Amino acid sequence: MLQYRRFEEIIDHPGLRIVLVQGLPSPWGQAAKTIFEIKGLDYVAAPWLPGEPNAEIVAWGGEASAPIVAWAKEKPINRWIDILYLAERLAPQPSLLPADATQRALMIGLSHEVCGEMGIGWNRRLQLFAPAYASGSPPVNISRMGSKYGYNENGAKAAGARIAESLRALTAQLKSQYARGVRYFAGDTVSALDIYWTAFANLLDPLPKEQCPIPDARRLGFAVTDPVIMSALDPLLLEHRSRIFREHFRNPMEL
């Protein structure tokens, strides 16, 4: 069970530490947390408070958002792929990287389409920022995040088409795997991509509140209404998300 500690308590902890967005299903953080749990890695967690400066955490981690992960005396990291490679180093088994080099490269590339710059999460953030920017005076926390994501009006308008393109690539890959009798995105067993997609799908079609207890005031904002995205969100992707959640995630999600 997730138990947050005060940030000051985890700085000098000798093991694995993670800062998670508290109260919201931040997909980057939920994916990292789940990867640690699949691998049986013990960790301590501190909360990132949404909308707050979190100045002490920023000074420590060098990043103005969560998750931030640190191991022992190593420098804190925040990129999704760095967190994955750290988890693989600390607990090589079960591996969440396909053994086959081609499948591994495919998995990493498609994971970038989900987690990385200009990926699904990135572009969905641009869409979520758009109403605040359209008002002419976005709140300070939105302005801060918008700067990180390079928000501009043209980018926000293009975000839906970019997300749809990524979704079609994921659908094609998943259908090819199912056609050969494998119910995972890459390789022959569960990989990090299955975990990433399950976490990030909440930005498009949130899991029921019994599984993902997003505050009611926020839930509507998570559900996508863009028809371009909705037309590309194949039912197989959502069925796959639900199964991977049941089999590999904490239920309900711990926020």
CATH number of the structural domain spanning residue 135: 1.20.1050
Do both 148 and 37 map to the same domain? Answer: no
Q: Tens place of pLDDT for every residue, the chain, 255 residues?
A: 899 999 999 999 999 999 999 999 999 999 999 999 999 999 999 999 998 999 999 999 999 999 999 999 999 999 999 999 999 999 999 999 999 999 999 999 999 999 999 999 999 999 998 888 988 888 888 888 888 888 899 999 999 999 999 999 999 999 999 999 999 999 999 999 999 999 999 999 999 999 999 988 889 889 999 999 999 999 999 999 999 999 999 999 999
Give CA–CA dist 50/24, Å, rounded.
8
* Number of residues in the chain: 255
Give CA–CA dist 6/169, Å, rounded.
41
Structural domains counted in the chain: 2
C-alpha 233, offset from chain centre: 17
Torsion sign (Cα): 9, 12, 18, 19: positive
- CATH assignment at residue 49: 3.40.30.10
Tokens (6 digits) for 8: 């000051």
Single out the residue of 53, 63, 51, 55 nearest to residue 18, CA to CA. 63
Do both 233 and 124 map to the same domain? Answer: yes
- Residue 86 structural domain: 7-90
> Is 49 among the domain residues?
yes
How much is the pLDDT for 220? 87
Residue 195: partners with Cβ closer than 8 Å, 6 or more residues away: 31, 34, 35, 38, 96, 244, 248
Give CA–CA dist 120/133, Å, rounded.
20
Q: Is 101 exposed, middle or buried (CB count within 10 Å of its CB: 0-12, 13-18, 19+)?
A: exposed
Give CA–CA dist 177/253, Å, rounded.
27
Do both 79 and 113 map to the same domain? Answer: no
> Is 95 among the domain residues?
no
Do both 157 and 238 map to the same domain? Answer: yes
Name the residue with tokens 């869409």.
127
How much is the pLDDT for 109? 99
Do both 129 and 86 map to the same domain? Answer: no
